[in-house]
Amino acid sequence: MQPEAISIQEKLNNALSTIFSQKIEVVGAGRTDTGVHALQMFAHFDIESDMKDDIAFKLNSILPDDIVIYEVFLVDNSTHARFDAVSRTYQYKIWLGRNPFLLDFSWQIHTLKPDVLKMNEAAKLLLEYEDFQCFSKVKTNVYTFNCTIFQAFWEQNGNELVFTISANRFLRNMVRAIVGTLIAVGFGKISTEDFRKIIESKNRSNAGLSVPAKGLYLINIKY
């Protein structure tokens, strides 16, 4: 929920409250920055009355076109959309060149072409560490900067360059900062060894820029 902006959570709360004629507040699996896309997201809500039929259909008839509900199902009372998740997977999409149809769905690099091989060499180092304070926003209330990264790699298909990363949890702005730093490796601004030193420094000012939110996609959550 945002005090001065419309949010997905707000729209879901209002739609569910309308359908069930009672105040309902959803709990999402996580939150994303403005402009980030989610191909998959889970949320749970508690309700005292019986579930109604065709809730997904009714929700989609109320919600705006850029929010789609695929399924609504019963879970155990102890199930928590956020805390029960064991892994999340993000992708970051870069378009090498200009494509007006992808302006809101990718970060477009018009001139330089990064070295994907070097970026993959640096990305492998992420699996050797747990503390990623260097990629976290400075002002954030977390009890630990430790994350377990399961995979991190780049793939190129024509003009599209995609970074995939999975972990048990992510810090605020973490993926966008990692991508910005790996791109610096790809452009030859820093070396793979420099990338290792940045991780070990635990200092956000040593890492690269935070790339635009529009290229980031939450694609999978596992429970």
Please give the positions annotated as active site. 33
Gap between the Cα atoms of 214 and 102, Å rounded? 10
Structure tokens at 107: 């970060």
Q: Are 120 and 153 in contact (CB under 8 A)?
A: yes
Q: Are 204 and 134 in contact (CB under 8 A)?
A: yes
- Distance of CA 79 to CAs 42, 83, 102, 153, 159, Å? 12, 8, 37, 31, 41
Q: What angle do CA 178, 2, 105 make, to 5 degrees?
A: 45
Nearest CA to 182 out of 127, 114, 85 is that of: 114
Give the phi and the psi of residue 156 in degrees, each rounded to 5.
-120, 130
- Distance of CA 48 to CAs 24, 45, 74, 155, Å? 10, 10, 12, 47
